Amino acid sequence: MKLPNIPFFSVFKPGYLAFVAFGLFLDLLTKYIIIVKMSADESISVLGDFFRLSLTFNTGFVFGLFQDNALPSLFATGFAIVFLIFYRWQNSDLGNVWGWNFVMAGAFGNFIDKFFVKIPGSGFRFGFTPEKPGIEFIGVVDFLDFDWPNFLLFTRWPAFNVADSCVSIGIVILLFTMDWKEMDKK
């Protein structure tokens, strides 16, 4: 693999890396607070049935698809991060930099979360296998739970977290700021 000709830190500037680190910190902090304060599958009504805090664990992929695939999900996320770093480095003029920063913050947040066993009401420990199934859990912590019109695929939108929100915001920014005609020329 050939490294891009442009210096790494001219694309990934310290301020951008600080933003990614802040997004990562915010994601992991909110997940930790939820793990310590709630029990597994507990829901707390915030805005009636429209918005609840619900502690769930996603051992699959996007939207909770393919559950019980924690290790393949870990490898897929790691591969995606490496791909995104090199793609962004090679295509530094493509899309708005803040879109990329949001996507990277979210990707790192969910990636790091996959390295820990969660113990609701207590905290977490490094590992990939719960020693006490039903008490300890693996997977990404999801807790933002919104109602969704019943006629659209899900009865409720799948629970998500701050990292998922960052990825979604980043993708929307990139979709609106990428010059698709310029991409076709490359």
In the predicted structure, residue 183 carries a pLDDT above the cut 60:
no
Tell me whether residue 185 is in a domain: no
- Catalytic residue among 27, 113, 142, 145, which? 142
**pLDDT per position as a tens digit, 67-108:** 566 677 788 889 999 999 999 999 888 899 999 999 999 999
| CB-based burial label for 182 (10 Å; 0-12, 13-18, 19+) | exposed
**pLDDT per position as a tens digit, 105-147:** 999 999 999 999 999 999 999 998 899 988 999 989 999 999 8
% the chain with pLDDT above 90:
67
Tell me whether residue 6 is in a domain: no
For residue 42, the one-letter residue type is E
- Catalytic residue among 41, 164, 179, 184, which? 164
142 is known as an active-site residue:
yes
What is the count of structural domains for the chain? 1
Range of the domain at 25: 13-180
164 is known as an active-site residue:
yes
